[in-house]
A = this chain, B = another copy of it.
């Protein structure tokens, strides 16, 4: 470190922090203002029928004591909404989930609601625990990107008034609102384009078929290939978790006799590895990837992505949730977000 001192800091207090003083309550405010607790409550909640001068006294006391209403106590007694919703995702740091969280936060903010976020880390047991914790905190509703396959344990919570909307993957064992990407249709459209451009051998690279989106995308790709009489299971490679593996698998396929002339990467981690390997080799194979990502247009190899609007996915789900929270009791809905094909990457040099 060249310069351990920094400019904007203030001088640290040498003394330690003062002992905690108790938070003032409505009782304290009432005593100071010389009114009843109920009157304080009225003023704090902007209820009508309070004489202006009384209200003034109360507000003065509120300011003097630094009173702030205890939102927990308030919603406990009123039984009303806590103005908090829960969002369960896999991992906040992941850009896909970060985008979802951002869009959900926006909608929540429009409804004066706060957002409690939890990460399942793709662990169904943890998912269940976290959803229960969120319910225990009396959230007004739940937005869930499922990790597990079974959400029956949520049934009683939903019946007791905590609506849940699932996004990106379907819920299991629970009739509930669901908002999904058109995985199958997008994969179909992309692969059909490859076929129309004359490709006859398409390498397919995916993670595990235990993952819902992988199954759907694979099915869409296979439909499109089968329609052209080009299905060939020997060109499918499973279990690709990271870009490094993807790069290696692309290399392996290219080194075989009669190699693919095109590749379909079923998620963006895989696309990334494929881009690197194809660029490294100066290949001229076509590349199709599912999921767009940041900076994709600046990568050193041309490719096509099946893109969709993650924010629309999240906003749609969040808006549906708030409709439920406001009392919409109609039958659960299944919504599908469309995809489109977009060209990315820099031209070959």
Residues of A participating in the B interface, judged by any CB pair closer than 8 Å: 1-10, 12-23, 66, 68-73, 75-76, 82, 84, 91-95, 97-99, 101-103, 105, 109, 114-119, 132-138, 156-161, 169-171, 175, 178, 180, 182-186, 188-189, 192, 212, 215-216, 219-220, 223, 272, 275-276, 294-295, 298-300, 329-334, 336, 338-339, 346, 349
Contact = CB atoms under 8 A, between A and B. Distances in A.
Contacts of A188: 2-3
Given A4-B182, A13-B332, A276 B298 contact: yes
Contacts of A117: 101, 105, 115-117
B159 A20 contact: yes
A136 B114 CA distance: 12
A103 B119 CA distance: 11
A253 B2 CA distance: 29
A170 B10 contact: yes
5 contacts: A1-B339, A7-B219, A21-B160, A84-B116, A93-B103
A9 B101 contact: no
A82 B299 CA distance: 46
Given A3-B185, A13-B175, 14 more contacts: A1-B185, A2-B185, A4-B185, A12-B331, A12-B333, A15-B331, A20-B159, A66-B157, A66-B160, A71-B138, A91-B102, A93-B99, A272-B295, A298-B300
A160 B22 contact: yes
Contacts of A84: 116, 137
A20 to B, nearest CB: 4
A119 B100 CA distance: 14
Nearest to A22: B160
A334 B9 contact: yes
A220 B1 CA distance: 12
Residue of A15, A117, A156 contacting most chain B CB atoms (<10 Å): A117
Given A12-B334, A160-B20, A72 B76 contact: yes
B82 A105 contact: no
Given A159-B21, A329-B17, A6 B216 contact: yes
A160 to B, nearest CB: 5
Contacts of A23: 160-161
B329 A16 contact: yes
A188 to B, nearest CB: 4
A8 B169 contact: yes
Given A20-B160, A114-B118, A170-B9, A82 B93 contact: no
Contacts of A21: 159-160
Contacts of A175: 10, 12-13
